[in-house]
Amino acid sequence: MRSSALVVVGLVSMLALSGTVSFSQQAGRAGGAAPPVPNLPVGKTAFWTAAEIDARWKDNERLMRPNSRLFNGPTNISANVRIVMPNDPPLIHETTSDLWIVTAGTAVAETDGKVVKVDGKDAMQGSTKRNVKVGDLLYVPPGVPHRFTNLNGFRAWLMRADTLGLERTGPAPAPEAPAAGRGRGAAPAAAPAAGRGAPAPPVPDLSTDKTMFWTHEDIVARWKDDEANKRINSRLYNGPANISTNVRIVLPGDPPATHQGTADLWLVTEGTATAKTDGQIVNGTIQNGMERPVHPGDLLYVPPGVPHHFTDMKGFRAFLIRYDVEGWKQTRAPAAGAQ
């Protein structure tokens, strides 16, 4: 575990100096530098309250700054508190995918097609246009153009991670036991947990050349189905390096968990709970850890190997975004001038 942690620290340091620079520059282009961006912690959780996140959105809007990044991780993993500026040009990312989770307002998402020059400016041709609103999710693979127009108070989470150019730096970890790793990133390990009450919907692989889209109504229907069937999870997709987004509930009596190589990012959407994390698992309980009340809009990051558990659930629903933060490296150098 110690050697894995050293690998992560090294990768994060390299990415902080290289792969994340272009987006950080974009984030501060319109007004004032964004707050300092820490690297993902190793061996302990990180937590941001809804009030802290809302303050970042308000700061972005006041300063006309598109983005405030919460953290940098290996293989360009990051969580970003995002607005969109009027007349922002189309964007294309070389190796990195975007997952947009709309939190406020509305917009028109223009995606796919290709970027062309019209009167000397970038425009999109042959694109798909979708109205997006609070609770919708939009996934954009590397190489796919995207932009937002017709903005009306638009705010979103922008979750980013490389999905191209990834190469394993060591052997894959052994599969985890269902009790410890329920819903783990690998598709075979997810099945026992996801189907605890009834079979979950089929899980597609991430698209590589076109966007994927889920409406708020799609997502709410999945949460209701989880609750009706006492099924803890409905996974939206499987991706490389165990990347996934999961529509998640927690059932009373669910045991503490730890994961090998894979991190959990919990975005609370409804209800409340007590998050018990860190410390050690002893006789099925977490000892010497910490407890936090969690509410809608809070964000909790749990690194590999760190125990975590939720209790005192009252209507608790969350997005669970997962990815490996150990055992992978990015093999493609960014092209000159890449977004």
Pairwise CA distance, residues 329 & 339, whole Å: 20
User: 27-36, 202-211, 299-308, 317-326: which range is least confident on average?
Assistant: 27-36
Contacts of 1 (CB under 8 A, 6+ apart): 305
Q: Which of 87, 220, 212, 60 is nearest to 137 (CA)?
A: 212
**Does 122 score more than 50 pLDDT?**
yes
Segment 320-325 shows an average pLDDT of 97
Using CB atoms within 10 Å of the CB of residue 49, give its burial: 0 to 12 exposed, 13 to 18 middle, 19+ buried. Answer: middle
* 3-state secondary structure at position 150: strand
Confidence of residue 186 (pLDDT cuts 50, 70, 90): very low
Cα 144 versus chain centre, distance? 18
Helix, strand, coil % in the chain, rounded to nearest 5: 20, 40, 40
Segment 192-199 shows an average pLDDT of 54
**Does 308 score more than 50 pLDDT?**
yes
**Does 33 score more than 90 pLDDT?**
no
116, 124 contact by CB (below 8 A) = yes
326, 2 contact by CB (below 8 A) = no
**Does 209 score more than 70 pLDDT?**
yes
Counting every residue written for the chain, the total comes to 339
Structure tokens, 168: 């394993």
User: 15-19, 110-114, 175-179, 300-304: which range is least confident on average?
Assistant: 15-19
> CA geometry: angle at 295 spanning 199 and 53, to 5°?
110
What pLDDT is stored for residue 89 in this prediction? Answer: 93
What pLDDT is stored for residue 172 in this prediction? Answer: 82
Residue of 223 and 34 predicted with greater confidence: 223
23, 67 contact by CB (below 8 A) = yes
* 3-state secondary structure at position 167: strand
Segment 247-253 shows an average pLDDT of 96
Q: Please, which residues bridge with residue 282 across strands? A: 285
Percentage of the chain modeled with pLDDT above 70: 82
End-to-end CA distance of the chain: 34
Average pLDDT, the chain: 86
Structural domains for the chain: 2-164 (2.60.120.10)
**Does 13 score more than 50 pLDDT?**
no
Helix H or strand E encompassing 50: helix 50-63
Cα 65 versus chain centre, distance? 21
Pairwise CA distance, residues 28 & 68, whole Å: 8
What pLDDT is stored for residue 174 in this prediction? Answer: 73
Confidence of residue 197 (pLDDT cuts 50, 70, 90): low
Residue of 175 and 20 predicted with greater confidence: 175
**Does 162 score more than 80 pLDDT?**
yes
Helix H or strand E encompassing 123: strand 121-125
**Does 187 score more than 90 pLDDT?**
no
Cα 339 versus chain centre, distance? 19
Segment 248-265 shows an average pLDDT of 96
What pLDDT is stored for residue 35 in this prediction? Answer: 82
What pLDDT is stored for residue 171 in this prediction? Answer: 83
Segment 292-297 shows an average pLDDT of 98
Q: Please, which residues bridge with residue 168 across strands? A: 328
241, 166 contact by CB (below 8 A) = yes
Q: What are phi and psi of 79, to 5 degrees?
A: -120, 130
What pLDDT is stored for residue 306 in this prediction? Answer: 98
Confidence of residue 21 (pLDDT cuts 50, 70, 90): very low
Residue of 205 and 8 predicted with greater confidence: 205
**Does 337 score more than 80 pLDDT?**
no
Segment 77-103 shows an average pLDDT of 96
282, 211 contact by CB (below 8 A) = no
Question: What string of H, E and C letters represents the secondary structure of 299-315?
Answer: EEEECCCCCEEEEEEEE
Helix H or strand E encompassing 255: none
Q: Please, which residues bridge with residue 291 across strands? A: 276
What pLDDT is stored for residue 194 in this prediction? Answer: 45
